A and B are shown apart, each in its own frame.
Chain A
Amino acid sequence: AQTVTQSQPEMSVQEAETVTLSCTYDTSESDYYLFWYKQPPSRQMILVIRQEAYKQQNATENRFSVNFQKAAKSFSLKISDSQLGDAAMYFCAYRSANIGQLTFGSGTQLTVLP
């Protein structure tokens, strides 16, 4: 079974600064997808960014980018120019190419300091 590990339960960053959230996963598969979701106090999970394992190029969405290291099974999220609205719980998730559901990590609570 796949597992996803987020070793940072809490992180903080100054507004306008850059922060990196860590995620590692364990799998024997070669074809899969990785995701970062954000969960604000409203509870709704919002997709931030996704990465296909077969793509070597790191995904980027505006201020959000990932550092995908397939051999190391690492998938970190970098948030540049942090904004107050970025404060939320961030979850890393794994999805096999053959299975529908996502496997989530335990989350990192990000605080943005004004």
Chain B
Amino acid sequence: GAGVSQSPSNKVTEKGKDVELRCDPISGHTALYWYRQSLGQGLEFLIYFQGNSAPDKSGLPSDRFSAERTGGSVSTLTIQRTQQEDSAVYLCASSWDGLNSNSPLHFGNGTRLTVT
């Protein structure tokens, strides 16, 4: 694809509901990253995939958050029993090679999640 694609673009959900956020990385990119950006804040790292495995999931804020990646491509970030503090923009990025730090990250437009 032309770039990293995220869906939905915006999501409004009620407190306590589960949500799934999707990321389609650039074709051929082996590394995939999830970040969270709260209003007016910087980017907070959540999880990193190399292929289908997640060597670093240290940024997931609680066990309500989980992510998976299948076929070395699409990734889904799931938030269970959403809370108002989960409201943020969730950004996905991919890179050609996560083990090569010179390989730049390409970001999607993010999903804006609002928990009411």
Residues of A at under 8 Å CB distance from B? 32-33, 35, 37, 42-47, 50, 52, 91, 95-107
Judge whether B74 is part of the interface by a CB distance below 8 angstroms. Answer: no
Contacting pair A35 B104 (CB below 8 A): yes
For chain B, the bracket of interface size reads 20 to 34
Number of A-B residue pairs having CB atoms within 8 Å of each other in the complex: 63
User: Can you list, as one digit per residue, whether each of B46-60 has a CB less than 8 Å from chain A (1) or not (0)?
Assistant: 001010000110010
Contacting pair A100 B56 (CB below 8 A): yes
B35: chain A residues within 8 A (beta carbon): 104
Contacting pair A50 B42 (CB below 8 A): no
Q: Which of A95, A101, A105 has the most CB of B within 10 A?
A: A101
A103: chain B residues within 8 A (beta carbon): 45
Contacting pair A95 B101 (CB below 8 A): yes
Residue of A with least CB distance to B58: A101
Contacting pair B108 A44 (CB below 8 A): yes
Among B59, B89, B104, point to the contact of A50 (Cβ < 8 A). B104
B31: chain A residues within 8 A (beta carbon): 100
Tell which of B18-26, B64-72, B75-83, B91-99 binds the partner.
B91-99
